[in-house]
Amino acid sequence: MNIINYISTLAMPLIIAIIIIWGIIEKKPIFDLFLDGAKEGLQVTLKIFPTLIGIFFAIGLLRSSGVIDFCTNLISPITSLLNIPSEIMPLALLRPISGSASIGVATDIMTKFGVDSYIGRVASVIMGSTETTFYTIAVYTSCVRIKKNRGVLAASLTADLMGILSAVIICRILS
């Protein structure tokens, strides 16, 4: 275990040293290239900033308006029929929208039911096997100015649904 800690402590400084040494060997202007990369990173940040503000505003509206609870109650007949615990539905609904909101919901689930409970394990697997789909699509497509992303959205949401259903099934089998 100490070797893993040692390697992880040295990983970033070692990568930086390798990049600098490689730049010196290749006779590249390392600092100038670093500054160019920093400028480009700042430009990307400025491009996606309005999208991020819109997403955070929409998430705040969803959480405070009770829409998540309404949607959970609306689909509860289907989830009951499929034997999906209703306690994970707020997480399943928020996960494609917001990473921070879903972490908050997952933390609440862990606190309420415990990390080793069936519901806690399902929540953990959902967090690991799904993506913040809307956020990811919004950020990446706005950065490169892609307007037609319907196919990407359908495929991504299908993958999220399969991740949620797989989490329920696998955790049920392993319980």
> 67-109: per-residue pLDDT in tens?
888 888 898 898 888 888 988 998 998 898 888 788 888 888 9
- What per-residue confidence (pLDDT) applies to 80? 87
CB contact set of 44 (below 8 Å; sequence gap of 6+)? 143
| Helices 133-143, 30-65: crossing angle, 10 deg rounding | 140
- 63-73 residue pLDDT tens: 788 888 888 88
Please say whether the dihedral angle defined by the alpha carbons of residues 26, 32, 34 and 37, taken in this order, is positive or negative: negative
Which amino acid, residue 70?
F
pLDDT (0 to 100) of residue 167: 93
The answer to whether the pTM exceeds 0.85 is no
List the chain domain ranges: 42-174
Instruction: State the amino acid at position 72 in one-letter form.
Output: T
pLDDT at position 1 is 63
pLDDT digit string (tens) for the chain, length 175 residues? 688 888 888 999 999 999 999 999 999 999 999 999 999 989 988 887 887 787 778 777 877 888 888 888 898 898 888 888 988 998 998 898 888 788 888 888 999 999 899 999 999 999 999 988 887 887 777 777 777 777 888 888 899 999 999 999 999 999 8
Would you state the structure tokens that stand for residue 154, as one six-digit string?
Answer: 């359908």
| 133: its two tokens | 């789909």
Return the HEC string of 107-149.
HHHHHHHCCCCHHHHHHHHHHHHCCCHHHHHHHHHHHCCCCCC
Residue corresponding to tokens 């400084």:
13
Whole-angstrom Cα distance, residue 99 to residue 103? 6
Query: Helix H segments across 26-175?
Result: 30-65, 67-81, 89-94, 99-113, 118-129, 133-143, 150-174
Instruction: Name the strand (E) or helix (H) holding 8.
Output: helix 2-25
